[in-house]
Amino acid sequence: MDVSGVVAQVLRVENLTKIYPNGKKANDGINLAVGEKEIVGVIGPNGAGKTTMLRQILGLLKPTDGKITLLGKDITKDPLAVKGEVGYEPQYPLYYPSLTIEEEIGFALRFKGYKGEGYKKKLDAIIELLNLGDVRKYFGYQLSPGLVKLSLLAVALAQGGQFLILDEPTSMVDIVTKMHIWQIFSELSEEQSILIASHDMNEVKRLCDRIYILVDGRIIAQGSPEEISNMLKLPCTMRLTVSNIDCTENLLEERQVQYSLQNGVFNLSVDNLSSAMELIGDINSSFCITYIEMEAPSFDEAVMRLIGDNHG
């Protein structure tokens, strides 16, 4: 796939291939790009090669073949060329039992050269941004998995630089905190470029300007969430509740609409958007829709179909 259409690239990955000594091909000719002030997502099943790709971009693994250009530097030739310019949050919840949260963040800030009043202001700003004030003195052994992930994100923000690489940044984090973090990422993208590897389709759909779907080490599709949703001819899906269940069932059966009913909630599938909108109007005018949720076409369904069609 061509990545030349991305303007002002911060990251450019060309034909990236990684073959391990045991013969496993973890990445197979990957082409990917991240532009300035852009959030790009990589999504795929376990074992798809997401973390392997990120580790090569970070210079932690040497590619078997291909080229990685980050901030104008060839990382494949000089992995340390952009040292200090990339913030990274790893997938796995690593922690330091004998360090407090603020000490952990503080080490990252000192490596960046912060000291004195500037150090204190930056430390306090990161802790406030992630709502860690009440637990800043907690040691690593006292942290829940969600707090460990937040502390790792705090360190990534302390590392700073022009580019953030985040591997499953909100896994194990409660939904309220997750929504807060998503808002932070949106604000950060006004100044920084962000690459996110995630299993959370709501996360990439909500945050990302572009998404790459990675399956068995290969990019099998890319585009905006809207473009990916429209790659396949998929039905419109709806969930709704109504004031009169029995009459609604009769109407759906007369129209031969595919549906299921569970705990008073109808799950419908209609061939296209225009038919869905017409059906919604008829149901609402007769039986009053009290709740409705619709996606047309479904991003989640498109991703699952694309993965299923290309996996194995």
Q: Would the pLDDT of 6 be above 60?
A: no
CB 162, CB 70: distance < 8 Å: no
Highest mean pLDDT (candidates 24-38, 77-91, 227-241, 275-289):
24-38
CB 80, CB 59: distance < 8 Å: yes
Question: Which segments of the chain belong to CATH 3.40.50.300?
Answer: 9-229
CA–CA distance, 112 with 157 (Å, rounded to integer): 11
CB crowding 239-262: b at 16 or more within 10 Å, else e = ebbbeeeeebeebbeeeebebeee
pLDDT at 7: 56
CB 295, CB 236: distance < 8 Å: yes
pLDDT digits (tens, 9 = 90+) for 281-310: 999 988 899 999 987 777 888 888 888 887
pTM here is 0.84
CA angle 173-44-296, nearest 5°? Answer: 85
pLDDT at 312: 63
Q: Indicate the CATH number for domain 9-229.
A: 3.40.50.300
**C-alpha pair distances (Å), 163 with each of 89, 153, 236, 268:** 12, 13, 37, 42
CA–CA distance, 272 with 257 (Å, rounded to integer): 12
Cis check: omega of the bond before 45, within 30 degrees of 0: no
Q: Which of 221, 197, 150 is nearest to 55 (CA)?
A: 197
Tokens of 198: 């995630």
Q: Indicate the CATH number for domain 236-296.
A: 3.30.70.100
Question: Which segments of the chain belong to CATH 3.30.70.100?
Answer: 236-296
CB 1, CB 28: distance < 8 Å: no
Q: Would the pLDDT of 3 be above 60?
A: no
The mean predicted confidence, pLDDT, of the chain is: 90
